[in-house]
Amino acid sequence: MRFLFLLFIVFPAIEIGIFLFLGKLIGILPTVLFMILTGIIGAAAAKKQGTEVYYKVQRDLQYGKMPGEAIADGLCIFIGGLLLMLPGFLSDLAGACLLIPFTRGWCKPILFKWLRGMSKNKRIISK
């Protein structure tokens, strides 16, 4: 319940506050253009990195390796691309952290821990 409160109330309120602050600091038009630009750059970066990860998964499978690391990278890239396409500066920062390989290395252990917890609590549904 706390997570939903943060997701739907606190996070958008902070995003709006940052938007208003930057709009006052640099102007509305540059602020809006910057948000549009980060969305375009995020989509392009996610597409490029996603394609690279796709080929890495194929290569790992051809050599009989389990592509767990590449799949985790793909999930981070997908979520990062989505976050960069959302309007807002906090979501852009989080998306950039998931797209940049150096910072993605910091985020993957958190993702693995979250997925492990979900699988232990049987909150992952599969058929």
Task: Please report the pLDDT score of residue 47 as a whole number.
Answer: 93
- What mean pLDDT do residues 21-28 have? 94
For the chain, which residues make up each domain, given as ranges?
Answer: 29-120
Task: Please report the pLDDT score of residue 4 as a whole number.
Answer: 74
Distance from C-alpha of 89 to C-alpha of 15, rounded to nearest angstrom:
6
Stated pTM of the model: 0.79
pLDDT digits (tens, 9 = 90+) for 111-123: 888 777 777 776 5
Task: Please report the pLDDT score of residue 53 as a whole number.
Answer: 94
- In the numeric block, which tokens belong to residue 68? 């767990």
Residue 125 in this model has a pLDDT that exceeds 70: no
Tell me which of 3-7, 49-53, 88-92 is least confident.
Answer: 3-7
- What mean pLDDT do residues 79-94 have? 89
Task: Please report the pLDDT score of residue 127 as a whole number.
Answer: 56
